Amino acid sequence: MYAFTYQKPTTIAAAVAALGADADAKPVSGGQTLIPTLKQRLAAPTALVDLAKIPELAGITVAGDTLTIGAMTRHATVADSADVKRLIPALAALAEGIGDPQVRNRGTIGGSIANNDPAADYPAGCLGLGATIVTNRRELAADAFFTGMFSTALDDGELVTAVKFTKPKRAAYVKFPNPASRYAIVGVFVAETAGGIRVAVTGAGAGVFRATALEAALASKGFAAASLDGVAVSADGLNSDIHASAEYRAHLITVMAKRAVAAAG
């Protein structure tokens, strides 16, 4: 780890100001990716701006069928929330399956989606549920927010403040974990929403994406696992590494999607 300065502002404005004052400053939310990266000397920010003491970033609120989760809300809080379990149990289950207890008690939803690790779980949940990403400047549809590997639509000085979810008719997330890291080799979030059926895939490609062939099959043949029989996903552009080839990942997308559809009931 290299030397850096450390600040813990109490307002979003102060955090943005601190980040704006130093081009090499980095915000830290749960730190579950950033801190290990620092320890391995793979990043050298001059300043860390810790978002943990900003009250308006934390907490879960409900308004009708809309669930708003503050950016600094920990995975364990989402997993345990009665409101989340009642409105979108698939999202609570997703949070319950991230990492291990230590990670879940430190990691945050805002940190996860702003980092947009190509094998992270939350991006699949946000994209699959058609969530709205709220920042200090605007609101963005999930479809517009995730732009590729470790890349989002966030501008400089823009922070995720919350994520808004609308209760779907039904939804489920099933992942095939990497046996070593337990990140998703393939994770599939399926949801039947007011805006249609959505199938979001994490782990398989350069970033989270929607499996349109599977969405179309479910829309035309009905929301049932059997509707995906024989529907193949192309391996083109999918990740290939020592754990899984692109061809195997493509196969697993359909299998996990079927299992998610079955689990969504």
**Position among 1, 194, 206, 226 found at the interface with other proteins (CB under 8 A):** 1
Report d(CA 136, CA 148) in Å as an integer: 22
Report d(CA 183, CA 88) in Å as an integer: 22
Which of 115, 157, 160 shows the shortest CA–CA distance to 19?
157
Q: Are 43 and 21 in contact (CB under 8 A)?
A: no
Q: How far is the CB of 262 from other proteins (least distance, A)?
A: 12
Q: How far is the CB of 255 from other proteins (least distance, A)?
A: 5
Q: How far is the CB of 251 from other proteins (least distance, A)?
A: 7
**Position among 15, 114, 133, 252 found at the interface with other proteins (CB under 8 A):** 252
> Contacts with other proteins: how many residues (CB under 8 A)?
17
- Choose between 64 and 179: whose C-beta lies nearer to other proteins: 179
Residues from 25 through 44 that contact other proteins (CB under 8 A): 40-41
Which of 6, 115, 2 shows the shortest CA–CA distance to 53?
6
- Choose between 213 and 255: whose C-beta lies nearer to other proteins: 255
106-140 burial, b at 16+ Cβ within 10 Å, e below that, comes to bbbbbbbbbbbbbbbbbbbbbbbbbbbbbbbeeeb
Report d(CA 183, CA 32) in Å as an integer: 13
Choose the binding region for other proteins from 65-73, 123-131, 136-144, 240-248 (rule: CB under 8 A).
240-248
x/- binding map, residues 152-191, to other proteins, per CB under 8 A? ------------------------x--xxx-x--------
Q: Interhelix angle for 212-221 vs 246-264, to 10°? A: 40
Position 230 contacts other proteins (CB under 8 A): no
Q: How far is the CB of 258 from other proteins (least distance, A)?
A: 9
* Amino acid sitting at position 101: P
Position 248 contacts other proteins (CB under 8 A): yes
How distant is the alpha carbon of residue 79 from its chain centre? 14
Choose the binding region for other proteins from 125-133, 136-144, 148-156, 239-247 (rule: CB under 8 A).
239-247
Position 193 contacts other proteins (CB under 8 A): no
Report d(CA 171, CA 173) in Å as an integer: 7
153 Cβ contact partners less than 8 Å away, ≥ 6 residues apart: 140, 144, 145, 146, 147
Choose the binding region for other proteins from 87-95, 122-130, 201-209, 236-244 (rule: CB under 8 A).
236-244
x/- binding map, residues 70-99, to other proteins, per CB under 8 A? ------------------------------
Residues that bind other proteins (CB under 8 A): 1-2, 40-41, 176, 179-181, 183, 242-245, 248, 251-252, 255
